[in-house]
Amino acid sequence: MTILHKIARRDFKLNRKRSIGTIVGITLSVALIMAVATMLTSLRQTLIQREIDMSGYYHIKLSQVTPQQLKKIRQNRDFKQIKTTSDLGVAAFDHADAAVEQSPLLTLQSLNATKPTASGYHLSSGTWPQTDQEIVISESAMLASGLKIGDQLQLKIGKPTVKKRKLPDSDALIEQATVVKGKNQNFRITGVLNADNYGYQGLTSAAKAKSYTVYLALKDPQHFRRDLPELLGLSNYHQVREGKKARYRYSLNDGLLHWEVLQFSDKTMLMLVTVATIVIAVIMLTSIFCIRNSFAISITEKTKTYGMLASVGATKKQIKRIVLLQSGQLGLIGIPLGLGLGVLASYILGLVVNHIGSQFLFGRANSFQLKFSWIGLLIAVVLGWATIYFSASSSARRASKVSPIAQIRNEQDVKLTSKNLRVPKWIQRVFKSGGVLAYKNLRRSRKKYRTTVISLAVSVFTFIAMSAFVTAAFNFSYQRFHSLDFNLSFSPNYAGMALKSAKTQAQIQAITKLPDTKHVQVMTALADNGNLKLAGVENHLAPGLTARDHRELQLLALDRTAFRKYGRANGLTEQQLASGLILFDNDTQTVNGKQINVHNYRYQAGDLISGSYQDNSSSPHKKYQAKFRLSGVTRKLPDMVSFYWTMPSILIADQQVAQQQLPLVLQSIVMDASKPEDTIREVRKITLQLGSWNLDGQIREEKTMRLLISIFLYGFIIVITLIGITSIFNTITANMALRQREFAVLKSVGMTKKEFDHMVNLETLFYSLKSLVIGVVSGIGVALLIYWGFNRGQAEQVHYQLPWLAIGLAIVFVFLLVFWIMRYSLRKFNRQNIIETIRKENV
């Protein structure tokens, strides 16, 4: 061991307290990086697992693959797993509910694998079919037919035909399709498929077929942009995206690809990258600042040692090496500790997540899966070392730079003139002689003062910026679901629930009368998603707009109660509302870089609006004329409309008024149900044509997610704050320790406890005020930056909120912390013998 190692090691041991303080700082920042990496990796793994459980383990699904093609696919080495089901065709489903205008066809597949879940099939009850005599059918088919597990089912299997023209199997859902030439076959029902709303499905087993559905899992999903075009016989991924004709009919498991390849939309990616960069920069900067301060302060403490080493001939390089060796030792202890702590924290967080309710978040059977991240480990180690190196190198440079004579005299921090030691009168009056000493000391030890102020300011800054980050993150995710007055929404799966039809009317009636529901609202729209073509719009447009772009307007109609409620909420009178049409008109324009709200139309309440509508879904296409007097213009959409539509201008009509002139179809029914699951079941009994959206489940999921994110983010803030506190503690105590001798001298000449207190109070005031000013201002700045990051490329903007609470907390906290640490150091000093302290300095 060279003398440099020896000095570094002994010094480390002798200054144990300071070393531990620095190690704590290093440990915490490495732990933070490690925990963030582990949590992100684990979250990704969990989401991947969730996708696999929900939709099956495959990336690409090929339909109607011939046996020859399948043979070829099996030779392709890009795939890790190839699963197939055989296409048996479609069957006329005689049990289909005659009331439902849905195709009475059932798509039939045969399982070839022992684990059908790999293809995304799940059973809600019963067992999988084992032979070609057994079958499981989808929940909707069960409901429609009233069949039970164990029942026999006869199916006529064949090709779907519409008006004697054969169709591919996948088009089996087309209305009016039938099976003309089919083969009758008997099955025993063994279970219920937990399949979605898309038609009736049946699965049997081990039946022979002429074509297959193939589920392909890629060996290396990262290369899916290369492997997919290869498989499809296209030259590049660009052609895939353009929708060029491919060798196979295919679909992608987007959910899985999302998380495995991190294939998000460019906007989402931009937002994620921006926010992640800002957060990582904050962690790194805080850590570097804080650890750097620990080094800086310990260098100040050891200036004399370095001076002596220099005077006996240690070169700059050697002194620098000692400091770097010391930092290396701290890293050797702190980094592994940090890695361990980070993983431990993630593990505990994982347990908490699973305890609170992973079932809401990650699917029924899924738990949060802790996955160790080697890349995270590597990043944490590299960033940890980088942090230590950057923290120590400036101190090392500083230690090596000052001339030996200055170090021996310990004079490099003290550059005094009597002018800058002049004390303001108010300090003399308020804080007496103790305060005067404190003030002079701050003026004298500028560097040490600055170090402490920077430590504090960085902590304040991080605290405020991170709090803003948390708030922004919450606002971002929850903006959409705030204060909706419904928790269930039903929309038709297929077009064509005409309001005129007696059956639709009866179904709507039945749904609105369901028990345990309130605020039921019905929204209708022009058939075929059509628009109203306005007449004479040219005279009612805002300047600069052309009639060509603004002639057509979406028309939505609300039931009378909902319409009135909406109108009244926007300040319209009953009299105005009687005419039955409100124009929602709220566009945004960027003027001089600022977004402002504008109207596209210059219609006013009382104006006559006339227009035409052509119903393309009827044959022959029927044309309608409509005329309304405008009740008023609003800037806000009803919740149930904004939930589905985000257009700048929409016509909202009273259903009863609009119905007299225009053909309307059901758009959606929303309600506030106290037992959402029960209500969904009841609605399915009334009609299978409506798909449900349970916002309650979604809101519960959001709430759980919110709780978890808060645990994670507040944990993050706490750790960052702790790093700051270690650094503040280190700097202040070291500063006080360096002044021990001075204090002893002051005490020996009769300075009282009260005067010491005044001194400490003033120093607290100075440290706190200065750091708060810097920290709060820069914190607010970065908070703005974070909001900007969240809003990049996003349609829904998060509005900036000044982080008042964080600022208030920071102010109180800083004063208390500084005061406490100063008192702590003073108490420690008070326990020492005066003369011993004075003498000690001479060693």
Binding residues for other proteins, rule: CB under 8 A, are: 2-3, 6-7, 10-11, 14, 304-305, 307-318, 403-405, 408, 417, 842-843
Between CA 509 and CA 177 the distance in angstroms is 30
Q: Which is nearer to other proteins, 417 or 575 (CB)?
A: 417
Q: Which is nearer to other proteins, 357 or 404 (CB)?
A: 404
Q: Which is nearer to other proteins, 316 or 355 (CB)?
A: 316
Closest approach of Cβ 2 to other proteins, in Å?
Answer: 7
Closest approach of Cβ 13 to other proteins, in Å?
Answer: 8
Q: Which is nearer to other proteins, 313 or 620 (CB)?
A: 313
Closest approach of Cβ 9 to other proteins, in Å?
Answer: 9
Q: Which is nearer to other proteins, 236 or 318 (CB)?
A: 318
Does an H or E element contain 754, and which? helix 753-791
In the three-class reduction of DSSP (H, G, I as helix; E, B as strand; rest coil), residue 554 is classed as: strand
Q: What is the DSSP code string of 610-660?
A: EEEEEETTSSSPEEEEEEEE--EEES---HHHHTT---SEEEEEEHHHHHT
Closest approach of Cβ 306 to other proteins, in Å?
Answer: 10
Between CA 196 and CA 450 the distance in angstroms is 64
Q: Which is nearer to other proteins, 194 or 318 (CB)?
A: 318
Closest approach of Cβ 715 to other proteins, in Å?
Answer: 39
Q: Which is nearer to other proteins, 407 or 524 (CB)?
A: 407
Residue 469, token pair as written in the block: 């980050």
Closest approach of Cβ 436 to other proteins, in Å?
Answer: 22
Tokens 């102010």: give the residue.
811
Q: Report which DSSP code applies to 582.
A: E
Compute the Cα dihedral for 284, 285, 289, 290 and give only its sign: negative
Between CA 740 and CA 733 the distance in angstroms is 11
Between CA 42 and CA 370 the distance in angstroms is 5
Strands 488-492, 664-673: pairing is antiparallel
Closest approach of Cβ 6 to other proteins, in Å?
Answer: 7
Closest approach of Cβ 415 to other proteins, in Å?
Answer: 10
Q: Report which DSSP code applies to 99.
A: T
Q: Which of 776, 717, 769, 765 is nearest to 460 (CA)?
A: 776
Q: Which is nearer to other proteins, 38 or 400 (CB)?
A: 400
Closest approach of Cβ 783 to other proteins, in Å?
Answer: 46
Q: At what angle do helices 303-311 and 374-401 cross, to 10 degrees?
A: 60
Between CA 199 and CA 140 the distance in angstroms is 8
Closest approach of Cβ 324 to other proteins, in Å?
Answer: 16
Asked whether the beta carbons of 581 and 631 are under 8 A apart, the reply is yes
Q: Which is nearer to other proteins, 16 or 622 (CB)?
A: 16
In the three-class reduction of DSSP (H, G, I as helix; E, B as strand; rest coil), residue 546 is classed as: coil
Q: Which is nearer to other proteins, 535 or 737 (CB)?
A: 737
Q: Report which DSSP code applies to 512.
A: H
Asked whether the beta carbons of 152 and 110 are under 8 A apart, the reply is no
Q: Which is nearer to other proteins, 308 or 352 (CB)?
A: 308
Closest approach of Cβ 319 to other proteins, in Å?
Answer: 9
Closest approach of Cβ 438 to other proteins, in Å?
Answer: 25
Q: Which is nearer to other proteins, 69 or 412 (CB)?
A: 412
Closest approach of Cβ 299 to other proteins, in Å?
Answer: 15
Q: Is residue 691 packed enough to be buried (19+ CB in 10 Å), middle (13-18) or exposed (0-12)? A: middle
How far is CA 368 from each of CA 34, 49, 258, 389, rounded to the nearest angstrom?
Answer: 17, 9, 18, 36
Reduced 3-state DSSP string for 135-204: EEEEHHHHHHHCCCCCCEEEEEEEEEEECCEECCHHHCCCCCCEEEEEEEEEEEEEEEECCCCCCEEEEE
Q: Which is nearer to other proteins, 312 or 795 (CB)?
A: 312
Q: Which is nearer to other proteins, 2 or 125 (CB)?
A: 2
Strands 649-654, 60-65: pairing is unpaired
How far is CA 243 from each of CA 66, 236, 237, 246, 261, rounded to the nearest angstrom?
Answer: 22, 11, 10, 8, 21
Asked whether the beta carbons of 373 and 37 are under 8 A apart, the reply is yes
Residue 237, token pair as written in the block: 């991924």
Q: Which is nearer to other proteins, 351 or 405 (CB)?
A: 405
Q: What angle do CA 492, 497, 502 make, to 5 degrees?
A: 135
Closest approach of Cβ 294 to other proteins, in Å?
Answer: 19
Q: Report which DSSP code applies to 597.
A: E
Closest approach of Cβ 735 to other proteins, in Å?
Answer: 20
Q: What are phi and psi of 16, to 5 degrees?
A: -55, -45
Between CA 663 and CA 658 the distance in angstroms is 8
Q: What are phi and psi of 212, to 5 degrees?
A: -130, 155
